[in-house]
Amino acid sequence: MAAPAACTRFSDNYDLKEELGKGAFSVVRRCVQKSTGLEFAAKIINTKKLSARDFQKLEREARICRKLQHPNIVRLHDSIQEENFHYLVFDLVTGGELFEDIVAREFYSEADASHCIQQILESVNHCHTNGVVHRDLKPENLLLASKAKGAAVKLADFGLAIEVQGEQHAWFGFAGTPGYLSPEVLKKEPYGKPVDIWACGVILYILLVGYPPFWDEDQHRLYAQIKAGAYDYPSPEWDTVTPEAKNLINQMLTVNPSKRITASEALKHPWICQRERVASVVHRQETVDCLKKFNARRKLKGAILTTMLATRNFSKSGRSIITKKGDGSQVKGSTDSSTTLEDDDVKARKQEVIKMTEQLLEAINVGDYEAYTKICDPHLTAFEPEALGNLVEGMDFHKFYFDNVVGKNCKAVNTTILNPTVHLLGDDAACIAYVRLTQYMDKQGAAHSSQCEETRIWHKRDNKWQNVHFHRSSNSPPFTFAPSAHK
């Protein structure tokens, strides 16, 4: 006899209970599985309110969570898509945040901190082994399975997580939380798994003394500290921390990501795997006291910012906040170091497109056809004035100008992009429109300038942007630097 068709509707399988949390597009509620009586947490997303990009992020989060099954990761048990709602059914974790639990303990030592970071590293190592980078490791995402003593630490919230191939490093966009961002992300360099280890180093530092290694109310100064790896171990609180603990932090907070310790290597560090012999077991009351203040500051700023943020998984911004003083004047506060910034990405991705356009124009200026071909799709289409209004396809038309015109009629060329406007078309396509101002010296030493309007379409393949189409308004440069054309 054929097996009965599986129920797919959420209400066929689960009973909804009280609300546990809320975001702009989602609500989290306790639910009970009808067939077993087991309790779970259901994240219910209103898909009617999602943009196509946000829907892609939701699908990515579900896909990533499905393949991560580890005792130290909040597990996704079910994913159900209905007409206007998507249900993600997770473990119900009832122990609250790890950092809140620590300050409620009667005893807390360096050895306890070692056990905490070991569990965090186990979860990160599992992610990295499965080609996942979390990108948002911070105290708010470290939960406890239950309120029982010794409950497991669980890594939560994979809304910013990405999938990578092996040890791949690429620019995946500006995402994370200010105080936990790695130098390579802040420098907008290619990055990968090491960003999670940097965040673990920040978390370990806090676990040991109750305050972060990098801190400034001004975000620019905070980022400068991080990029320089400028942290220290002040007296007297660090005097009682073992050298082995500091050694592990140093290896995690190594500015060069290629020299940073990996999760699997960190798990073999003596301070982790030989904690009974290496880590101090003296109670750290000063750490607990500082951590209470750190938690209070996080919660206060988090509450202020809640009204300004979409749910953590979708289109987060929150660069600065404006509050009114009693006299009616406005005070602009810096971004809180516990608030996730996703995609400053929109801003960063637009800058990326502008940067690629500038690189392409520079290749034209210097006559570097090889660099030009790396930036352009082999089947590049173009409406070139020189083509007399016809659509040109492929590189042969352009190669002729590189071989015979570019650099032949002038001594020096400078190109400036004016008023660039970028439209992002999903995750992997963009359109840029701009005015192109070209200045050059002819071979007689006379200065000339000209301008034209250009539009370019970019497509991202294998994390590399390629120009697939452009349209230019007039027969001024790129290629024809003939002075007579501009007299």
Name the token pair of 125.
Answer: 């190592």
Do the beta carbons of residue 285 and residue 294 sit within 8 Å?
A: no
Cβ of 230: how many Cβ atoms within 10 Å?
11
Identify which of 206, 200, 141, 194 has the alpha carbon closest to the alpha carbon of residue 168. Answer: 194
CA distance linking residue 437 with residue 417, whole number of Å:
6
Burial class for 298, CB neighbours closer than 10 Å (0-12, 13-18, 19+):
buried
Identify which of 225, 168, 175 has the alpha carbon closest to the alpha carbon of residue 191. Answer: 168
Structural element, H or E, at residue 29: strand 26-33
Q: What is the DSSP string of 327-344?
A: TS-EEEEPPPTTS-EE-T
CA distance linking residue 310 with residue 244, whole number of Å:
41
Is the omega angle on the peptide bond into residue 178 within 30 degrees of 0, that is, cis?
no
Name the token pair of 316.
Answer: 């987060």
Is 336 catalytic? The answer is: no
Identify which of 258, 98, 110, 106 has the alpha carbon closest to the alpha carbon of residue 193. Answer: 258
Structural element, H or E, at residue 469: strand 464-472
Binding-site annotation: residue ranges for ATP: 43
Q: Which of 54, 101, 112, 136 is catalytic?
A: 136
CA distance linking residue 348 with residue 334, whole number of Å:
19
Binding-site annotation: residue ranges: 43
Whose structure tokens read 């101002």?
A: 437
Catalytic machinery residues: 136
